[in-house]
Every structure is written in C-alpha cells, then in structure tokens.
DNA sequence: CGTAACGTTGAACTGTCTCAAGATCCGTGG
DNA sequence: CCACGGATCTTGAGACAGTTCAACGTTACG
C-alpha cells in the first residue's frame, strides 16, 4: 500500500467574501448562517486543497479541525491492527467531516480525487456555535442523518449478499448525485475497486464479479474506467433488497 | 416470529419532581438541564413502561416522540422486506432514542426485558431546546458518539470473523456496564441468541459455536441463561482484533 | 409434569475468499 | 506515436468460514 503524504496539501486564507458567494453553501452546514453574519464564518475559514490519494488526517490524530467538502470526493476509513480496512463513507461536496472523540479523530480521511475543502479550527467553530445556535441545530440534523445512513450500512454489511450490496451502493450513489432521471443514468465512479470492496465488506474479486453479474443482467454498463451507466434504476433498487 | 403488542405499554404523568431526583439523570441528556430549570423538562415528560418483548414503535411510524431509557434494555432493529433482520443497537439506562427522518422513525424499538422510559413529545422538546441550547449541544455530543460507535460496528460487520465479533460484543458490553474490574466480570446478557446473531450479522448457530469456542478457550463461562462471566478482559480484547 | 421455546451440536452445503493467471488501462520514456 | 512496465481489473479454480438443515439437550412456564 502506498502511504499518502500529508504534505501534498496546500492552504490559503480566504478572501473576505469567500462564504457569501460559495456555491456549495446551500448544501453545507454553512447554510445555517444568514448572509448578515456570514462574515463571522468566513473569518474562521481556510481553504485546503488535496491531491488525489492524499490524506487529510489519520485516525488518532489530534482533532484540531473540522471540514466541509467543497469539491472532489473524500473517503473515510478505519483500519484494524493487521491491516484489514473498512471504508465507512464517501463524502461529496456539501458534506461535513471531522468526527472526533476525546480530542482525536475516530477515522482517517483521504482524497479519492483532487479535492478542495473548507477548514475550521474546532475551538473557533465551537465559539461561533455558542453565538449562533442555528449552526448547532444544523449539525445535529446532519449527525442525525448520518446516523440513519450508518444504520442502513449496518443492514447492508450484516445481512445483504454481494450483488445486493453492490446494487445498494450504486442506487445510493445515484440518489446522492442528484439526477432523478428514470432511464439511463451516467454516474462518475472515481474510486477504485479496492475502495468499493472495503466499503461493502467484500474483496475486490467479489466486487468485480458482481459488476460483471449486473452487467450481464443488463442493469449496468462500464464504458470506461471511472464511469458507470445505470439502466432501469427501479430494477436495480429491487436487486438492492431494500 | 411473535409480533409484540403495542398495547403492553402503560403511561403515566410524572409527579412534579420526577426529573429533579431521577437517578439516571446524570447519565442521560437531561443532565444538560440545571436544577433551576429542570421543572420545564419534567413538565413535558411522561413515563412509559414496557413489558418484555413488547414494541415501543416500528420503523416507519410517525415519529411523535423521543425517549430516554430509565431502566431495562431496548433493542433497535431494521428489517428487509423478506424478513432478514439487523439489530443496530442495544440501549441501556441513560441512552436516548427516537431517531427520525422525514417525520418517521428509521428503526423499530423493542424491549429486551421489562423497561421504563421517559417520553418527550418532539414538538415540545424542540421548543425547550430552542430556549435551552445546552440540550442541543448535549444531543449533538451524543449523536456524535453514536456515530463513532456505528462506525466501529461497520468495521465489525464488514471485516471481523465470528469469534472476533462475539469477543468485541462482550468487551463493549463490559465497558458499558461500567465495571472496571480486571479479573472476573459477571455480565447480564438478557437478550437471546437470535438478537445477538442479528446484531453481529451471524446466525444463531454460529453465535452458539463462538460462545462454545470462547468457553473452551477459557475466556468466558455461561453459568446460567442470561449471564456471562468474563475472564481476562485483556485477552478478550486481543481476540476482538481492535 | 408436559410442552414449547431456546440453545447446542453435527454434517453437508454454498457464497465468498484466496491464490493464480490473464487482460486492460495508464503514465512514462524512447 | 508507440513500446514498455506497473497497477488495476477480470476471470478461473480450489479452499474454507459460516450457513443451512436436522437432531438433540436444556430451560422456563402453565
């Protein structure tokens, strides 16, 4: 395994109006802050750029910051001491990360593709939250939603077979990517088979075989690496064993 | 499967000082409310008693209430359409439940043993939270902790073998039950094998075989139903593949 | 004391993993 | 632009952990 470097990361201070015209604000927790007070948020925001396959932080690191994904894709994962890995989530623009317990991150975070994030120092964010409880309410709502998603993933990992897992994964991705098209659907699939396998609790070989099975069943096409076409989302949903 | 009855539930209004002298307050979110204002919480609190194996609510029900466990044990679970079941958690006194999305509960909740809970109407709790942001902060902290626990469970379900799963489960129970005794540890284990199996993503047979394996390895004893003795918690932790 | 639910054990089966070999993709340098 | 080499993905064959099916033991309760 290639250990990603933390150095492949660049920081920068934002311009004064960073948050006001940010195009992911509507999707991020930042929407809890009104235009009038958005400067207070911008004041504690730094931008972080991550190259593909580089780490944002590792499980156990001091949790000094929290983040919002602005562009790209971030994967979260945990490792067992012998190297077994579980990917616990793929984050898209608007998603919040930085879950900590006892001052330490409880998972590692790595860029799947080149990504840009907003970074907030925890102490300052806590201070801002005390002044603006709407932020706290927003974060509670997001944590609640994440908890519901986590429970769906437990069902997947505990009770679904390989094809159901892959179908569930593709359907969930399609939903999050926001297209509501009923017919064909072109989805970016930037993560490798190993990441998908570690997310679904399978091996790369089983993931590959399941892709082939879905392809032979006429539900998907893999025209080129990094892309998947979905046909009949309703049929895929049925295969996901909701 | 026996469908538990919702009727086996009794409600009662609290006396004025319900919350002030409640012995689980220190462990529950209620600790975020100071003595001076605890009456406001007591005013919106109702007590619910549940008999063994009866349901508190089902996934999909209108989420009109949230709850705190006062005594007993509650299990949370989700069902697939064909009956496969995943238990997503066992709740002990002090734990909060009532996770909802879009106005509906996202899981079912049933009493493992006779239990008592505090019930809060959601609208009133939301109102109280607006007045007392400390409650919101407390709930955010709890949700965050639950999220960390959920991720550990994903690692368990996605990457651990049967014995590691059972060892992890027993160690986590021991930690939550609070005894820090290093030697022998007597744990109540009130849930049946089927519940444990559905929590660990296994079958009852595999759970039973894993109990036997741990017993033969000298790490546990099963003196009577509903109880487990743990020997060498450190050894069990090693077997849990943290 | 009888009976039904629950738990354990055994034996055969199967879905997924492991190990191994090709095929394909992609960046690099000639 | 093409040839090379490494990484990634796919496919195959055999192994194995956990499931399924079945029998037996144990516990709890009317």
Residue B48 forms beta bridges with which residues?
B11, B117
**What is A134-160 written as a DSSP string?**
HHHHHHHHHHHHHHHHHHHHHHHHHH-
Q: What digits encode the pLDDT tens for the residues A182-223?
A: 678 999 999 999 999 999 999 999 999 999 999 999 999 999
- The whole-number pLDDT of residue B3 equals 45
SS3 content of chain B, % helix, strand, coil (to 5): 40, 25, 35
The residues of the protein lying within 7 Å (CB) of strand D read A 192-194, 204-205, 207-209, 211-212, 222, 225; B 161-163, 201-203, 205-206, 209, 224-226
- Report the C-alpha gap between B26 and B176 in whole angstroms: 15
Q: What digits encode the pLDDT tens for the residues B167-218?
A: 999 999 999 986 656 678 999 999 999 999 999 999 999 999 999 999 999 9
With an 8 Å Cβ cutoff, is A190 touching chain B?
Answer: no
User: Strands A96-97 and B185-188, how do they pair?
Assistant: unpaired
- The whole-number pLDDT of residue A97 equals 98
- The whole-number pLDDT of residue A6 equals 47
**What residues in A contact B242, CB-CB < 8 Å?**
80-81
User: Strands A227-230 and A185-188, how do they pair?
Assistant: antiparallel
Burial of A183 (0-12, 13-18, 19+ CB in 10 A): exposed
Residues 6 or more apart whose CB falls under 8 angstroms from that of A119 comprise A11, A45, A46, A47, A48, A65, A66, A67
- The whole-number pLDDT of residue A3 equals 45
With an 8 Å Cβ cutoff, is B175 touching chain A?
Answer: no
Quote the crossing angle between the two packed helices A193-200 and A162-176, to the nearest 10°.
Answer: 110
Q: CA(B99)–C1'(D27) in Å?
A: 36
Report DSSP state, residue B62.
B
Q: What is the mean pLDDT of residues B141-147?
A: 97
User: Strands B104-105 and B55-57, how do they pair?
Assistant: unpaired
Residue A120 forms beta bridges with which residues?
A45, A66
Q: What is the pLDDT along chain A (242 residues), one digit of tens a residue?
A: 444 444 456 666 655 567 999 999 999 999 999 999 999 999 999 999 999 999 999 999 999 999 999 999 999 999 999 999 999 999 999 999 998 999 999 999 999 999 999 999 999 999 999 999 999 999 999 999 999 999 999 999 999 999 999 999 999 999 998 666 667 899 999 999 999 999 999 999 999 999 999 999 999 999 999 999 999 999 999 999 99
Q: For the stretch B60-80, what's the b/e string if a residue is b when 16 or more beta carbons lie within 10 angstroms of its beta carbon?
A: ebebebbbbbbebbbbbbbbb
Q: What digits encode the pLDDT tens for the residues B208-219?
A: 999 999 999 999
CB B48 within 8 A of CB B57: no
Q: Which tokens go with B73?
A: 């044990």
- The whole-number pLDDT of residue A195 equals 98
The residues of the protein lying within 7 Å (CB) of strand C read A 161-163, 201-203, 205-206, 224-226; B 192-194, 204-205, 207-209, 211-212, 222, 225
Instruction: Calculate the average pLDDT of chain B.
Output: 93
């Amino acid at each position: 395994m290639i250990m990603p470097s933390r150095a492949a990361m660049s920081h920068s201070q934002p311009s004064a109006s960073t948050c006001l015209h940010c195009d992911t604000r509507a999707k991020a927790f930042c929407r809890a802050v009104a235009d009038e007070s958005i400067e207070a948020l911008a004041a504690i925001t730094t931008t972080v750029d991550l190259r593909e396959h580089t780490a944002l932080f590792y499980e156990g690191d001091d949790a000094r910051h929290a983040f919002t994904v602005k562009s790209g894709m971030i994967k979260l994962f945990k490792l067992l001491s012998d190297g077994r890995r579980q990917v616990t989530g793929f984050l898209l623009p608007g998603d919040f990360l930085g879950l900590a317990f006892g001052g330490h991150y409880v998972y590692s975070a790595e860029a799947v593709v080149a990504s840009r994030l907003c970074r907030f120092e925890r102490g300052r964010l806590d201070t801002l939250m005390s002044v603006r409880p709407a932020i706290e309410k927003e974060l509670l709502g997001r944590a609640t939603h994440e908890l519901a998603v986590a429970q769906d993933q437990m069902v997947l990992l505990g009770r679904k077979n390989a094809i159901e897992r892959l179908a569930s994964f593709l359907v969930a991705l399609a939903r999050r990517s926001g297209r509501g098209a009923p017919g064909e659907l072109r989805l970016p699939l930037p993560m490798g088979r190993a990441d998908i396998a570690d997310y679904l609790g399978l091996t790369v070989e089983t993931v590959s075989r399941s892709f082939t099975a879905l392809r032979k069943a006429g539900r998907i096409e893999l025209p080129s690496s990094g892309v998947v076409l979905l046909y009949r989302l309703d049929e895929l949903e049925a295969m996901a064993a909701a």
